[in-house]
Amino acid sequence: MNRLDHVFTRISGNLLYSFFLSFALTTSVCIASDFEEPSAYSGTDSQRIQQAVDAASKSGKRVVIPRHNTATNRALWLLDEAILLPSGVTVELDGCRLKLSDRCRDNFFRSANCGVGITDVKPLQNIHIIGRNGATLEGADRPRATGDGAKTLGERTFGTDAGVAGESQKGDWRNIGILLAKTAHFSIQGIHMIDSHCWGISIEYSSDGILRDLSFDSVGLKKIDGKDQKILNQDGVDLRRGCHDILVENISGRSGDDLVALTAISGEGKTAGALEYTMATGDEKTEYPGIHHVIIRNVRGYCPAGHHIVRLLNTGGLPMENILIDGIVDTSPAGVLDKAALKIGDKHPAYGGINTLGTTRRIIATNVITQAKFAVLVEGSLVDSFIGNVLQSEENRKAGQPAVVITAAPEIVKDVTVYNAR
Q: Which residues contact 152 (CB under 8 A, 6 or more apart)?
A: 169, 170
Q: Residues 229, 289: one domain?
A: yes
How far is 202 from 353, CA to CA, in rounded Å? 23
118-131 core/surface letters (b: 16 or more CB in 10 A; e: else): beebeebeebbbbb
Q: What are phi and psi for residue 272, nearest 5 degrees?
A: -60, 140
Indicate which CATH number applies to the domain containing 335. Answer: 2.160.20.10
Total H helices, total E strands in the chain: 3, 27
Q: Residues 238, 210: one domain?
A: yes
> What is the tally of structural domains in the chain?
2
Domain that holds residue 89: 40-421
Q: Residues 22, 158: one domain?
A: no
Q: Residues 239, 356: one domain?
A: yes
Q: Residues 299, 185: one domain?
A: yes
Q: Residues 23, 156: one domain?
A: no
Q: Residues 157, 300: one domain?
A: yes
Q: Residues 108, 171: one domain?
A: yes
How far is 60 from 203, CA to CA, in rounded Å? 24
Q: Residues 1, 61: one domain?
A: no
Q: How many residues does the chain have?
A: 422
3-class SS shares of the chain: helix, strand, coil, % to 5: 15, 40, 45
For 16-36, what is each residue's pLDDT tens digit?
333 333 333 333 333 456 999
Candidates 412, 379, 252; CA nearest to 312 is 379
Longest pairwise C-alpha distance within the chain? 103
Tens place of pLDDT per residue across the chain (422 aa) = 443 344 334 334 443 333 333 333 333 333 456 999 999 999 999 999 999 999 999 999 999 999 999 999 999 999 999 999 999 999 999 999 999 999 999 999 999 999 999 999 999 999 999 999 999 999 999 999 999 999 999 999 999 999 999 999 999 999 999 999 999 999 999 999 999 999 999 999 999 999 999 999 999 999 999 999 999 999 999 999 999 999 999 999 999 999 999 999 987 778 999 998 999 999 887 778 899 999 999 999 999 999 999 999 999 899 999 999 999 999 999 999 999 999 999 988 777 778 889 999 999 999 999 999 999 999 999 999 999 999 999 999 999 999 999 999 999 999 999 999 99
∠ CA 128-237-322, nearest 5°, is 95
For 280-293, what is each residue's pLDDT tens digit?
999 887 778 899 99
Prediction pTM value = 0.92
Q: Residues 20, 53: one domain?
A: no
Distances (CA, A) of 389 to 113, 366, 400: 42, 5, 17
How far is 259 from 332, CA to CA, in rounded Å? 12
CB 278 within 8 Å of CB 290: no
